[in-house]
Structure 1
Amino acid sequence: MQTNTHFAFLDEGSKKEIRRAMLKAVAIPGYQVPFASREMPIARGWGTGGLQITLSVIGTEDVLKVIDQGADESVNAVSIKKLVHDTTGVEVTERTQEASVIQSRHRIPEVPLTEEQILVLQVPMPEPLRNVEASEYITKRLHSEDEYSGAWLMLFEQIMKYEKTATNADHPVYVNGRYVMAPSPIPRFDNPKMHQSEALILLGAGREKKIYAVPPYTEVESLAFEDYPFTVESFDGQHCRLCGATDVFMDELIDPVTGDATYQCNDTSFCVERLNEREKAEVETSYA
C-alpha cells in the first residue's frame, strides 16, 4: 500500500489554501472564513478542523503539544499527536512553556501563552447564532449587518428560566468590537484568557468548513447584560487534591463510597509540573 509522502500529511496546494483562509481570518478577527476542508484519517467531529490548521502551520523547528479537555494522554490527543509527529518528525512535549504550537479540545492551558506560541482550538459548531437561526444564508447576513439580537435573546431566555446565564461552555464573545464569535466549547473560566492574549488563536471546524481567529492583543468580551455580568466557574474554598492549586479550573471527583467531593486540576500537565516543583523544593529544604 502506498503511503503519504507529503510533509505534514497534506499536499502543498491544500496547505496554501488553508493558510490563505487563516490569513483572512487573522485580518478580520472573529469572522468565519469558509475553506475546502480535506478528508483526514480521523472522523469528522474529532478535531479535523484543528488538525488541518496544525498541519498547515507547523514547521520542522516547531514543538507540538496536544491536549483534550485538559489531558495530554487522552485517546484524541494521543492520536492527533502521533499523526502529526509521524508525518513531520517534530518534537512533542507535555509542557506548555516548551510548545510553539498547541492544539486543544475544550481547554486553554493554565500557563499564560506568549507571542512565540500558536493556540489551535478544535471547534464542532463555529456559528454562535445557529441555535436561533438554522439558515446559513441568514446567519451570514446577520453577521454582515452586526445584528446579534438573537444571541442576546438566547441569554435573556436563560436568565428568565434559571435566573442566570446557563452557558457552561462555548459562551459567545464579542471580538474586536465587531463580530460575535463562538470560542469553541471551552469553559467560561477560559473566556477571559482570550482577551488581549499574547498568542495567536486559530479556530478550525472541519465538518462545518470554517476557520476563524483571534490575533494577538485583540479585545475579546464575553456577552453579558449590565445587571447580569459575566461570571466564570467558581472554585472558592476548594483546592486541587494533588498539587494544592486554588486558582485554576478543576474537575469535581465524587467518592463512590462516601459520596464526598474532592477537586483536581483539569490541566494535567500543569498539575504534574506543580507537583514536581513542590517535590524539588521539599528535597532542597531537606538538604539545607
Structure 2
Amino acid sequence: MSLATLTKNWEPMSYGFLDASAKREIRRKMLKAVAVPGCQMPYASREVPMARGWGTGGLQVSLTLMNPSKRVKVIDQGADDSVNAASIRRFLARVSGAPTTLDTLEADLIQSRHRIPEEKLREDQVLVLQVPNPEPLRPVQPNMSIARQMHADADYGRMWLQLYEQIVRSGRVMQGASYPSLVNGRHVMTPSPIPRWDVPKLHMAKHLTILSAGREKRIHAVPPFTRVEPLVFDDVPYKVEDHGGLTCNRSGAKGFFMNEIPQDDGSSTYEISDSEFGVKTIKQAEGERVEFGETWYTDGEMPS
C-alpha cells in the first residue's frame, strides 16, 4: 500500500461546494429535526459565498441535498426572477451540475424565501425555507438561555399573552408574517417570514419542509403529515389575508396571494406573488398548453 492509493487528485472544491464533514453534520441535524418536529437543532453553519442574512441557511441545506439528477427551483418572495433567487439558482446549478426549473411541478427541491408556492407539493418534493430568525420567543424573551428552557418546559404563556394584548389593543391579532405555530402538539416554531396565507399549507402537508437559519445556526423541520396549528383563541379564529377577491393585473389570476403595487393616483393594482403561476396563467390565455397542479386555495378559500 502506498500513500498515492489513499489519496485522490486535488480538486478546487468539494462536490456541492460544502465539504463532506459539513454535509454529514447537516444531514444528522436534519434527521434529528425531522424526528422532533418543530424543535430547533443547532449546527455549525459554514461560510458560503453569500452574506449572512441572505439565505445562507437555506443554501447550506440545499447544497447538502443536491445531486446531479435533482431538479431545483429557487424563489424569493414568490418570484423566480429576482436577483437573490437567480443568483442562488445559478450557484446551485454550477456547483452540483443539477438541472434547474421555474415550474413548481417539475422541481424536486424548492428553496424559498418568504413564500410557499400556490400549487400543492408532492410527497417526493422537499421545500427548504430560509429563516432569518428561528426563535419565536425572542419578542417576549430576549434571553436565549431562558427561551430554550421555556421550550423545554413547553412554557408558551408569554406568547399567548402577546396575542391577547394585540387583540385588546387593536381588536385583532396583528401578527402578520412568521405567525407562531404549534407543531405536532408540542413545539412552537416560527414558520419563516411566510405570510399568514401560507401557514395552513404546512398543516398535514405531503411534502417535507426544512427550515434553516444560517446566521442563527438553527435547523427545524416539519415532516410530512404533521399537524401545524397557528396559535389562536377558541373564540378568535385564525384569519389569512383577505385576497380572495383580488385579481392579478397582468395574468388575470384570481383568488391567490397578491402583491400590492401603489399607483401615482393613490390607488393600487395587484400582481400574483407566485410569479411562475402567473406566467403559466398568461400562457394558457394565449393558447399554449400548460399543466397546472392542484392549488392549496380555490377563490381565496382553503378546503377544510
Normalising by structure 1, what TM-score? 0.94
Residue 10, structure 1, aligned to residue 28, structure 2 = no
Q: Secondary structure in 2 aligned to 1:36?
A: coil
Counterpart amino acid of 1:32?
Q
Residue of structure 1 aligned with 2:181, choices 173, 195, 217: 173
1:286 corresponding residue in structure 2: none
Residue 245, structure 1, aligned to residue 253, structure 2 = yes
Counterpart amino acid of 1:55?
L
2:292 corresponding residue in structure 1: none
Deviations 1:111-131 (A, max 9, x none): 100001000000000000001
Residue of structure 2 aligned with 1:132, choices 119, 140, 146: 140
| Aligned-pair CA distance for 1:259 | 2.3
Counterpart amino acid of 2:34?
V
Q: Distance in 2 between matches of 1:276 and 1:203?
A: 33
Q: Distance in 2 between matches of 1:269 and 1:242?
A: 12
Residue of structure 1 aligned with 2:79, choices 56, 71, 84: 71
Q: Distance in 2 between matches of 1:4 and 1:176?
A: 43
1:86-235, aligned counterparts within 5 Å?
86-235=94-243
Asked if the contact 2:67–2:97 (Cα under 8 Å) also holds between the matched residues in 1, the reply is no
Q: Secondary structure in 2 aligned to 1:119?
A: strand
Q: Secondary structure in 1 aligned to 2:26?
A: helix
Q: Judging changes above 3 Å, is the alpha-carbon distance between structure 1 residues 164 and 57 closer, same or farther for their aligned structure 2 residues? A: same
Residue 61, structure 1, aligned to residue 69, structure 2 = yes
Number of residue pairs the alignment of both structures matches: 280
Deviations 1:89-127 (A, max 9, x none): 110010000000000000000110000100000000000
2:48 corresponding residue in structure 1: 40
Q: Judging changes above 3 Å, is the alpha-carbon distance between structure 1 residues 11 and 145 closer, same or farther for their aligned structure 2 residues? A: same
More helix by share: 1
| Aligned-pair CA distance for 1:51 | 0.5
| Runs of 5+ consecutive residues of structure 2 not aligned to the other structure | 1-9, 290-304
| Runs of 5+ consecutive residues of structure 1 not aligned to the other structure | 283-288
Deviations 1:179-218 (A, max 9, x none): 0010000000000000011110000000100000000011
Q: Distance in 1 between matches of 2:254 and 2:199?
A: 18
Q: Secondary structure in 2 aligned to 1:217?
A: coil
Q: Distance in 1 between matches of 2:111 and 2:195?
A: 16
Residue of structure 1 aligned with 2:274, choices 267, 272, 275: 267
Asked if the contact 2:246–2:255 (Cα under 8 Å) also holds between the matched residues in 1, the reply is no
Counterpart amino acid of 1:278?
A
Runs of 4+ in 1 over 4 A off after TM superposition: none
Asked if the contact 2:212–2:219 (Cα under 8 Å) also holds between the matched residues in 1, the reply is yes
Q: Judging changes above 3 Å, is the alpha-carbon distance between structure 1 residues 156 and 41 closer, same or farther for their aligned structure 2 residues? A: same
**158-167 vs 213-222, which moves further:** 158-167
Q: State percent identity of aligned pairs.
A: 50
**272-281 vs 75-84, which moves further:** 272-281
| Aligned-pair CA distance for 1:4 | 3.8
Asked if the contact 2:245–2:255 (Cα under 8 Å) also holds between the matched residues in 1, the reply is no
